[in-house]
Amino acid sequence: MRILFIGDVVGDKGVSMIGDFLPKLKQEIKPQVTIVNGENATSMGRGISLSIYKQLMSDGVDVVTLGNHAWSNNEILDFIDDAKRLIRPYNFPKRTTPGKGYTMVNVNGKQLAVLNFQGRVFMDNLDDPFALADELVDEITKTTNCIFMDFHAEATSEKLAIARYLDGRISAVVGTHTHVQTNDARILAGKTAFLTDAGMTGPADGMLGMQPDSVIQRFLDQRPARFKVMETGRGIISGCFIDIDDKTGHATHIETVSMTDDQL
């Protein structure tokens, strides 16, 4: 089983990069499942809309994951419960949060569980992702041993900690949120694939997808600033692909992908 995971899609440029280049990337990599983090996909760079979710699906995405900006576009409250392949972090408060934190995908007769969790270091104090992952993984392994997690977190230590905590119990942990792809793709001792951050998909010449001037000004004067998504220049698509032995659930290979539109 080969999984292609694409990191945080940012703004209109990110959505167009998926539409323009994902089919070409899939033709080369040949994944059975394509997962995309879409929590920054609106034109303002926060949240997702129904039209964007449907566009990503029509462009060949199988599952869309979210993160701390899941609720930044209020429209999501109208459709998340009906969107079968859209998942938000599992560790939002269970009683009051719409949507779901994982989904199952049929891959040639084998079930793949796709999980979405959010970290707590330097982020909102959600429910404990370690304890909840324990419970959820124990339940899911009754059905399948092929389990992929998008762990949306700020701290590199927290991302590695949960990967090592779950090493040997799930197939892969890939981090999102920082928009900067890390150079540490590897398979841990228990055969769980790990990457600290998949990077972002969107404007290549911005600052984490935003227009540089306002971000730099914030550093200079330490005053609040409105960040706007970069709309011009090159685009980039970033992520990784992972091979999983569908009999054992163990990862056998992980490799990063990061290319600008001129390279693609």
What residue numbers does the annotated binding site for Fe cation cover?
8, 39-40, 68, 152, 177, 179
Q: Out of 46, 69, 191, 250, which one is annotated catalytic?
A: 69
Verify whether residue 253 is a known catalytic residue.
Answer: no
* DSSP letter string, 155-208: -HHHHHHHHHHTBTTBSEEEEESS----S--EE-TTS-EEES----BEETTSBT
The Cα–Cα gap between 149 and 169 comes to 11
For the chain, how long is the longest CA-to-CA vector? 57
Closest CA to 39 of 127, 146, 122, 153: 153
SS3 21: helix
Burial class from Cβ neighbours inside 10 Å (0-12, 13-18, 19+) for residue 75 reads middle
The Cα–Cα gap between 4 and 239 comes to 8
Positions annotated as catalytic residues are 69
